[in-house]
Amino acid sequence: MTREEVEAIALALPATDKVVQWGGSDVYKVGGKVFAICGLSGGLSFKVTDIGFVVLTEDGGPGRQAPYLAKGQWVLVDLDDAEAEDAAGWLSVSHQLIAAKLTRKARAELGL
C-alpha cells in the first residue's frame, strides 16, 4: 500500500483534514483531533478498540504497538503489510472512535 492510497481512503471520510507534521508524516484529523498518521516509522498508525488492539498486535497480527501512542490503543502497521480493504476498515473505525470524543456541538458543526 502507498501513502497516496492511504490519503485517498482517509480524505474520503467525513470532515477529515490532512496536515504534514512530525518530520514529514501525513497526519489525518477529524475536528482537529488526530485519527491516523502515515509515514511515522514507515507505517500507518491509527486508533483501535481494545479488542482490535489485541487482534492486530498479538499472535502474529499485522501490527505492533505504535511508538508513544500504544497507551491510547494505537497500532502501527507497515505499509508494505497493509491491504487497501483492511486499511479502509481500520481508518474508518479510528475516525469513528476519535469523532465520538468530540463534543456534541463540534460533531453537529462537522455534520457527524
Note the pLDDT tens digit of each residue in 22-51.
Answer: 888 999 999 999 999 998 677 999 999 999
Distance CA(91)–CA(83), nearest Å, equals: 12
Helix (H, G, I), strand (E, B) or coil at 69: coil
- Hunting for cell 508494505 — which residue is that? 80
Distance CA(32)–CA(83), nearest Å, equals: 27
Distance CA(99)–CA(32), nearest Å, equals: 10
Q: What CATH topology corresponds to 3-110?
A: Aspartate Aminotransferase, domain 1 (3.90.1150)
pLDDT 10s digits, 60-100: 778 999 888 878 899 999 998 889 999 999 999 999 999 99
